[in-house]
Structure 1
Amino acid sequence: MTGLPKILMTLGVILFIIGFAMKFINLGKLPGDIVIKKENTTFYFPIVTSIIVSLILSAIFYVIGRFK
């Protein structure tokens, strides 16, 4: 199997794993995420979540790059 079918299957597996992880890991409200609540507004900046997602995606792309 080469080309587009292999890429689509890989992306499907990655999306499945991410969806499964998001079901059981509370990825939007980690300690270190910045939340500022005022009278009528709420500012939310998920800095720790962004760092963790970046590390996970970097590892995934590193592994994928090693197989190419």
Structure 2
Amino acid sequence: MIVFSIVLYVLIGEMPKETLFEWILFALVLDAVLLLYACLAVISLRCCERIVQSRLSMKAQAPRAPSQAEQV
């Protein structure tokens, strides 16, 4: 969005500098929000992955019932 605003400013030349700075500020705020959202999504997915992995490893370490141990 920042590049788009600057290209419009250069090509058209009718956009006042105040409007350009407003668009650049809006783009920076939007980028910051999206970056924060992406970081939170990655962190939550990694936490879920660790929970699933720990539960799978707990199941593998659980002792088997005597009837199952005899069959193996």
Q: Which has the higher helix share?
A: 2
Q: Which has the higher Rg, Structure 1 or Structure 2?
A: 2
Give the TM-score normalised by structure 2: 0.35
Give the TM-score normalised by structure 1: 0.37
Quick one: higher RCO (CA 8 Å, sep 6+), 1 or 2? 2
